[in-house]
Structure formats: structure tokens, C-alpha cells
A and B are shown apart, each in its own frame.
Chain A
Amino acid sequence: MISGRNGSRLRPRAQDQNDQTREGSSVHRRFRLGTLCLGLVLVGTTGCSSIKAPVPKDPDALAEYKAANDPYEPLNRKVFNLTMKFDKWALRPAAKAYVWAVPRPVRNSLGNMITTMNEPSVFFNDVGAGKPRRAGDSFVRWCINMTVGVGGLIDVAKMAGFPHHDNDAGLTMANWGISSGPYLFLPMGPSSFRDGIGYGIDQGLSPWDYVPRGYGLVSFNWAYNMMGVVHGRSEHLEDLDALQRDALDPYATIRSAYQQQRKAQAEAIKNDHRATVPDWYQ
């Protein structure tokens, strides 16, 4: 889960916003297996038990139920438990091994590359959200980092005054006034109906899908996707350990943090009224 696109935002207890700008949402966007897993999980779980939570009668409980916006909680919890098992036995150990084997500066560079590779998707979403300044930033970031930044390994754009910002199709739709719809926990991480659809759109926005296929590119894509997932997880080892240790109901804690964070992100984009021309031009 934590490997999921949205999982990268989950540090509810951690004050540290370490590296948020670096890896952002891009890390696992290409984790296409997620869609397949979702299908399997849906087939596996819908058959054997109910997927909808009963609506409570008590007014206070009802208010809480509505605030949680999670009518499919039983199904979501099943996916959550499966994901946590996968995380415990596969992803977390892999991420720990990665941290052990790869020195911090190299990991930072790989994180920069993953972020840069995702800039086109951020750019299209900035355009879609009608935020020319943000779109300009991500466009410039892509151009600078892919050239001077050696294929994205060095975040030169940040040094030049163009720090990374997150955006995805879920947030773009939020800016268009589309509500999130019920909460969903997908194998990629916490999500919602809107953000799940946005995830699909983001896959389509990535230019890497439109490059002619060849053995080299396929190998690169596999390596890149797998590394992206492991790298993303490695950025949150301590946060998620702390969350699992301290939260009495980690599922509910992640749900709450995710919903608040998405709302805040959408608000931040909406309230970004900076001028279109960069600071140095004014």
C-alpha cells in the first residue's frame, strides 16, 4: 500500500516532510500490476462476503460514518490487510535492503530521476487544472532536468528556483469540483473513486507509454517501475513503522490522514494564484 502512488503522502504522525518534494506522487504511478491485483482482489472478496458496511442508526455514529465516507469499509479492510501482508513480507524487507545497499546520495538521485520522469504527467494536469504558472514550472523542470540534470538524476531545476510540486488527475478533477466519491483502499494505496479513476488517467498521460517499444525500453520500464516502488517505500520506513506501532487502528488512521491530505492538496492548488511570469522576469 505504502508503495502506492498515494501512500507516498502518508506520514500522518511524522512531522518530517522529508523528501516530499522529491518523490511525491510519481513514484509508483507506473505500477501497472496494481490494476490486475485490484481485479483479483475484487473477484476474490466480493464472492465470499459483503462489501458494504451497514449504515448505523445512532445519530452520532451516523455522523461519524458519513464523515469517514467509507461505505465499502469491509472490502477496503480486506484489501488493506492483504496489502499489509505483502508489505510486511516483501516490500518492506526489499526497501530495507535497498536502504542498506544504496548510499543516500545515490538514492536521492534515483528519487530525482523518478520525479523528473513524471513531470510530463504533472504538466498536463497543471494545464488541465488551469494553472499556467504551475504548468510552466513543471515544463521548465522537465526541460532543465532531462538535459542539464543528466536525465533527471540531478535536480538542477530546483536549484534554479523551480521546485517540484505534486499534481495528478485526481487533484485536477478535484479542482474541477468533482467530489472524491467513497474512499477506496487499492493495492497501490489509499484512494477514492475519483482518485482511482485519476490514477488510470495518469497512466495515459505518461509519455513513456507512447515511445516505440523495444527490448531496451521494456527492460528499462521494468527496472524503473520496480525501483520506483521500492524507492518510494524506502522513504517511509520509519513513518510507517511508527504508524503501525502507535495507531490502534492503522486502517482508520491512514484513511483519515489520506482524506485530509488530499483535501489540503486540492485546496493548495486551487489557491495558487501566482503570476504566470516567473519571479525573475517581474
Chain B
Amino acid sequence: MKLLSGRRIVLATLALTCASGLFALPARAADNAKQFIQGFGTQLVAIVNSPVPLPEKKAKVLPLVQKNVDIDGIGRYCLGRYWKIATPEQRQHYLALFHEVLVNAITDKLGEYRGVSFTIGDVTKSGGEDSVNAILTRPQQPPASMQWIVGYDNGQPQVVDVIGEGASLRLTQRNDYSSFIARNGGSVDTLLVALQKQLDRHAQAAN
């Protein structure tokens, strides 16, 4: 009996620990997401506002983006239903191109955001992801509010989407890609060619 009650206490403690862990989990995750966006945002803003030339800023931002943005995850999401039918080679090729496209999209914006500051607001949970509200302030412009979606698929918090004016960037991108593929015979290769062309045009414009 004594043994039994001892075991009961151990089990109860274990159950309680698990339960409290479970209850504490969302709060901790929300804090994590907030801290993560705060940290990432502060680093980004510091680079954007630093008085160094644009190419140097781009070089500094690149590792930061690669670490804190789940580019592969976003890429898979954006390919939508075509991810399933893509061959491993196509997937690999696509992700490599997508990396470049996304990094270009982010670094192209750097010049426009001089003098930016931001404040973090509430965190809401949706599914396995957290949505962090942020308000972006730029000189002589009205503040812009946006939501950063933070995912944990790779064991650490990473940005998986940005929602501005109610539109999710990754969903809009996915609809762009899937409509393009569907209208071009349903072949993933046409998308790869188009992305390559887009990158070539970008490189030409930069030179």
C-alpha cells in the first residue's frame, strides 16, 4: 500500500509536471516568438540604418536572413501541389533558385528603409505557428502594421511568412507560381526557366 501510494505520488507529480509543462508551453512559445522577432528585427534595423554602402549592407543581411528565415519551408509552401509531383532534381533546383529570389526580394528593399524603427505588439497563436504583430515606422510616413509568422519546424524559431495589409506573402506567392505553372502545361520546369530568367534580369539590372 505504501509502495502503491508512493508510486501514486510519483505518478501524480509526473502528471502535474507534464500538465504544467503543457500549460506553460504556449506562453513560453509566445515569449520565444516575441524575443526572436525582437532580436531579429533589432539586428536588421541596425544594419538598415547603419551608414555603410548598400552592397555592404546586403552582405551583412544575407547570413542573418539565411539563419532566421525558413527559406526552404517557404519555398516548399510556395510550390504548393506541384511540390508533390516535382522530381528530387527539380525540387533541389527550385529551392536553389527560390533562395536567390527571396534573398533578392529582401535585400532589394534595404535601401528604401533608411531611418526605420519598429515596435512589437501582441503574439497570437495559430496552429503550430505564432503571429507577432509589429508596427514599422519610417520618417515622414504613416506607421505600417504587419504580422510576422514564426514557425518551429527546424527546431528553432524562424520566420515563415509576413502578412502586410491582410495579405500573406507566401500565399500570394504560391498562387502566383501555381497559376503560372497551370497555365504553362503543368510543368515545373517552366517555372524553373521563368525563375532563372527573373534572376538573370535582376543581375542585369544590378550591373
Residues of A within 8 A of B (CB): 9, 11-22, 60-61, 63-64, 68, 245-249, 251-253, 255-257, 260-265, 267-268
Partner of A249, one of B81, B180, B198, B201: B180
User: Taking CB as reference atom, which chain B residue is nearest A260?
Assistant: B167
Contact A15 B146 (CB under 8 A): yes
For the side of the interface on B, what is the size category? 35 or more
A-contacting residues, B103-144, CB 8 Å: 105, 109, 112, 136, 138, 141-142, 144
5 residue pairs bridging A and B, Cβ less than 8 Å apart: A15-B136, A248-B176, A251-B179, A256-B175, A260-B172
A-contacting residues, B126-168, CB 8 Å: 136, 138, 141-142, 144-146, 162, 164-168
Q: Does B96 contact A (CB under 8 A)?
A: no
Contact A252 B179 (CB under 8 A): yes
> Inside 8 A of B145's CB, which chain A residues have their CB?
17
Q: When each residue 169-199 of chain B gets 1 if its CB lies under 8 Å from chain A and 0 otherwise, what string results? A: 1011101111110110000000100110010
Contact A246 B175 (CB under 8 A): no
Partner of A257, one of B136, B141, B172: B172
> Inside 8 A of A9's CB, which chain B residues have their CB?
165
Contact B141 A18 (CB under 8 A): yes
Contact B167 A256 (CB under 8 A): yes
Residues of B within 8 A of A (CB): 80-81, 84, 105, 109, 112, 136, 138, 141-142, 144-146, 162, 164-169, 171-173, 175-180, 182-183, 191, 194-195, 198, 201
Contact B165 A256 (CB under 8 A): no
> Inside 8 A of A248's CB, which chain B residues have their CB?
176-177, 180, 191, 194-195, 198
User: Taking CB as reference atom, which chain B residue is nearest A70?
Assistant: B179
Partner of B175, one of A60, A255, A265, A268: A255
Contact B142 A264 (CB under 8 A): no
- Known: A11-B164, A15-B164, A263-B166. Contact between A64 and B182, CB under 8 A? yes
Contact B175 A13 (CB under 8 A): no
Q: How far is the CA of A248 from the CA of B109 in the complex (A)?
A: 19
State how many angstroms separate the Cβ of B48 from the closest Cβ of chain A.
12
User: Taking CB as reference atom, which chain B residue is nearest A267?
Assistant: B166
Inter-chain pairs besides A12-B172, A248-B177, 10 sampled, C-beta below 8 Å:
A13-B172, A15-B144, A16-B138, A17-B142, A18-B144, A246-B198, A248-B180, A252-B180, A260-B172, A264-B167
Contact B142 A261 (CB under 8 A): no
Contact B167 A261 (CB under 8 A): yes
> Inside 8 A of B180's CB, which chain A residues have their CB?
248-249, 252
Contact A260 B164 (CB under 8 A): no
Contact A16 B144 (CB under 8 A): yes
Q: How far is the CA of A14 from the CA of B146 in the complex (A)?
A: 11
Q: How far is the CA of A9 from the CA of B183 in the complex (A)?
A: 26
- Known: A17-B142, A248-B191, A249-B183. Contact between A11 and B165, CB under 8 A? yes
